[in-house]
Amino acid sequence: MKKKETLRQLIEEGELLISNSFNRNYIIEESRIANLITGEKHPPKYKNILIIEKEKGTLWKNNCITYLNYQLLNKDEKEKFEAFFPINRILGKDISKTSMEQSLSHLKSLYEHYPFEEAIILDNNINNKVEKIFISHAEKDSEYIKLFVKLLNNIGIINKDKIFCSSIIDYGIPNREKIYEYIKEEFNQNVFVIFFLSNNYYKSAASLNEMGATWIKSNEYQAILLPNFEFGDMRGAVDPSAICFKINEKERLNHFKEDLSKFFELNIVGPNHWEDARDEFLGDVERLIERDKKKPLEINIEKVKKAGDNIEVYIRTLNLTNNPIEILEIDLELIDKSGKVFENTLELNQNIFPNENRVDMQIIEVGSTEFNGNRVDYEKSKIEVHI
């Protein structure tokens, strides 16, 4: 896909976001002074703010950032452009129409004045041989991904230079490498991307960046759906009309194996060997599915916020059963964006009603630790419940 055409599409998508947005009134000043005659307070002052649908807005923002990083600007140009293009400060929360239109104005200026040189970009589709499989997934889905990599190994895709998977040390990012620079270099190869889509995937900024990079670089890809994620849930840069399948579909796996064999010019394994490997994989996947079904509780960290020497931790708990459940303790392992770790055990003795879905805020003292409660890496942080 040509650079200028890609930028035009981003501009059109941004304009569509605005046209599909809605307005909301926010109180910006509430009077505490009462009218001397009637005794009533003066009416509050409102500000009308344009609200962008958060998920779609986040995808658009990630695609813009990926476009700048992977396709268009070199380091010096990017720093100059980001100085006046507030893409990193918008769409994280409710935004104003002025901020959105300002960003689009800068993109349009770039479209009109940037000296596009189409020959600079490597078109991966020109190469007739896939060099590597890039597995794009959410870290929280790593158990399924490890089973899939084992299946790849069983059909002869073993070497480290043929697979990139961040959840497996042998196929991930080497020590001392910068994460984003390393992944960027991976996308400069002719990679075949496999998306493992799930609700966790769409909550992961890193995963969405990989999806955006695939779209920007026009890589070949295959979408595979993990359990409890349906075809209608697909969104973003993945084409919903393209053939995709669920991870436990036997016949689709058979066809996919043939595709991979052609991509990598592999000697096709014998039918008995493949069927044994495939059936072992499907059995392991079903065991994970059944295990997850038996979980009585679903618990997640919704938000962490620093408050002086304390942090406020918002925890969502969903009782998946028709019976009350008593939570005895919760173990927290919070990791911030710089890798600093904070651990704590909460003694609760809290009852959760049948099918209850609730959010509780816990205040925890952190003291003078270097852990930054305002920059928590939710993908790496862990929570464990004892009932």
Q: How far apart are CA 110 and CA 118, in angstroms?
A: 15
Q: Is the dihedral of CA 67, 52, 372, 204 positive or negative?
A: negative
Helices marked H in 177-228: 179-187, 199-202, 205-217
Contact criterion met (CB below 8 Å) for 352 and 321: no
Coil/strand/helix, residue 66 = helix
Q: Is 210 a catalytic residue?
A: yes
Query: Residue 193 is which amino acid?
Result: V
Tokens of 319: 């009782």
Tokens of 91: 């769409």
Of 210, 251, 290, 326, the catalytic one is 210
Contact criterion met (CB below 8 Å) for 143 and 288: yes
Q: How far apart are CA 259 and CA 50, in angstroms?
A: 46
DSSP 221-268: EEEEEPTT--GGG--TTS-TTS--EETT-HHHHHHHHHHHHHHTTPPP
Catalytic residues: 210
